[in-house]
Amino acid sequence: MNYLYIAVTIALTVFGQIAIKMQVLQAGPLPASGHDKLLFLIRLMLNPWIISAFAAAFLASVSWMGAMTKFPLSHAYPFMSLNFVIVLMLSGWLFQEPLSITKIAGVALICVGTIIASQG
């Protein structure tokens, strides 16, 4: 049950990254001029999905505090590397971002490293 804190931290962090990417794609490219850039960023900051991503980041921090009461940092922190794995897979699926052999090999190494690090 203690690992639920880590799982919630990961899930909320991944949600935030995906939500922000979806909204930024929907908003379009960052304008060149300073004034337009500022308005663009303000509109993004007021977007309910972006606000939910920030809320998710806050709740992920709260969940991480719970995890820190249950595990040594050196045991729990390697699990955070699963964020890279999940975001990479979701970015390929949701955004059709390329998944090269190099990226897949890197993710495989992250998974192996997480398993090894969590054993100690």
Please state the rounded mean pLDDT for residues 69-80. 92
The sign one gets for the Cα dihedral 11, 13, 15, 17 is negative
Whole-number Å distance between alpha carbons of 36 and 105: 41
Looking at the chain, list the stretches that DSSP marks H as alpha helix, in order from N- to C-terminal side: 3-27, 34-45, 48-70, 73-76, 82-95, 101-119
The answer to whether 92 and 57 have CB atoms below 8 angstroms apart is no
Tokens 């972006």 -> residue = 50
pLDDT tens-digit map of 18-39: 999 999 999 999 999 999 999 9
Percent pLDDT > 90 in the chain is 80
Mean pLDDT of the chain, nearest integer: 94
